[in-house]
Each structure stands twice: as structure tokens, then as C-alpha cells.
């Protein structure tokens, strides 16, 4: 199979011959080391950013809550995304960085040794981290914007490595 994302007939592998959704059978694939790094950004008011920076939110530490939310999201991805496989996770790392006075970026790396990739787990976690920040700060700023959820890199698997050039 020259393009593993498609079956031999050239169809997307999440669809059967009649176009119905199906879960891809990964039973014959070898287990390999896999990693995915995804990111999200949330833009907010100066007041919300300052409250996060100085741990001044009534709900508590927004970064700590978002970190736990991201880790939990990794473990729940197969329940949220219908055609994702339940996979064993070897490690999750969640980092936050201020890109400017009002823009916070979350980066999530996920590692696994398995038969399918962890891109969806990393993307789900980055999204949920931003949602958790929104939830923590919505009393201060309901106009926050979650932006730029994207895969930055992935390694392992049949299709090889991917590195976004930004």
C-alpha cells in the first residue's frame, strides 16, 4: 500500500466501500514509538491575562487546572472522537507560554508505543486546555478567542515524520 491513509482501491480508510464510517483495523500494524506535539492559543483581555499571571482568579490557578484538563483529555480522546482507537499513553507533557501580553499558548506532547498515532490525543488536549482557560476566566472576559489549534509535529508510524514550518 503506497499511501497508508488510503486503502488499495484509493478510498479513505475511515470509509467502507459504500462510504460508511468505520474504525480502521490496525491489528496487523507493528507497534512503534510515536509522538505528537500540538498547540492552541487563547487571546484575552489585559485583565484576564493579569489575573492568570498573578493567580487572582476566584476559581483558582488557571494554568494548573488547564494542565490537568489537558492530561485528562488525552486519556478521553477515544470517547470524544468516534473513530479514534483507545490507546495506551506513555507520557504527556503540557507547557504554557505567554506569546505576548494577552496571548497564552498551550503546547501538549503525547508519547506512546503502539499501532496508531497520537495526533488526535495531542490536538484534543491542546483544545481542552484552551477551553479550561476560557472557563476559568469567563467571569472577567467573555470575549476571549481560542485560536490556532494545530499539529506542530509528529514522529513514528508508516507515514513518517511531520514537522510544521512556522
Instruction: Name the CATH superfamily housing domain 32-158.
Output: Molybdopterin cofactor biosynthesis C (MoaC) domain (3.30.70.640)
24 versus 60: the higher-pLDDT residue is 60
Give residue limits of the domains in the chain. Answer: 1-29, 32-158
Residue 32 CB-density burial (10 A; 0-12 exposed, 13-18 middle, 19+ buried)? middle
pLDDT at 7: 45
Q: What average pLDDT does the segment 83-110 reach?
A: 97
Q: Which residues are catalytic?
A: 135
On the question of pLDDT at 99 being above 70, the answer is yes
pLDDT at 10: 47
Q: The dihedral of CA 57, 74, 118, 15: what is its sign?
A: negative
Cell of 1: 500500500
Confidence of residue 12 (pLDDT cuts 50, 70, 90): low
Q: The dihedral of CA 115, 110, 105, 64: what is its sign?
A: positive
- pTM equals 0.88
Interatomic CA distance for residues 144 and 149, integer angstroms: 15
Q: Which of 39, 29, 38, 40 is nearest to 159 (CA)?
A: 29
Amino acid at each position: 500500500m503506497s499511501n497508508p491513509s488510503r486503502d488499495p482501491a484509493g478510498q479513505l480508510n475511515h470509509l467502507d466501500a459504500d462510504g460508511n464510517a468505520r474504525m480502521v483495523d490496525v491489528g496487523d500494524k507493528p507497534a512503534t514509538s510515536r509522538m505528537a506535539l500540538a498547540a492552541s492559543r487563547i487571546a484575552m483581555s489585559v485583565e484576564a491575562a493579569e489575573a492568570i499571571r498573578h493567580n487572582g482568579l476566584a476559581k483558582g490557578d488557571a494554568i494548573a487546572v488547564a494542565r490537568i484538563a489537558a492530561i485528562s483529555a488525552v486519556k478521553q480522546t477515544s470517547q470524544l472522537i468516534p473513530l479514534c482507537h483507545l490507546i495506551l499513553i506513555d507520557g504527556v507533557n503540557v507547557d504554557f507560554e505567554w506569546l505576548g501580553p494577552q496571548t497564552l499558548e498551550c503546547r501538549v506532547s503525547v508519547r506512546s508505543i503502539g499501532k496508531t498515532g497520537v495526533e488526535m490525543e495531542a490536538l484534543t488536549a491542546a483544545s481542552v486546555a484552551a477551553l479550561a482557560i476560557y472557563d476559568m476566566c469567563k467571569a472577567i472576559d467573555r470575549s476571549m478567542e481560542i485560536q490556532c489549534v494545530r499539529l506542530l509535529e509528529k514522529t513514528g508510524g508508516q507515514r513518517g515524520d511531520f514537522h510544521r514550518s512556522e
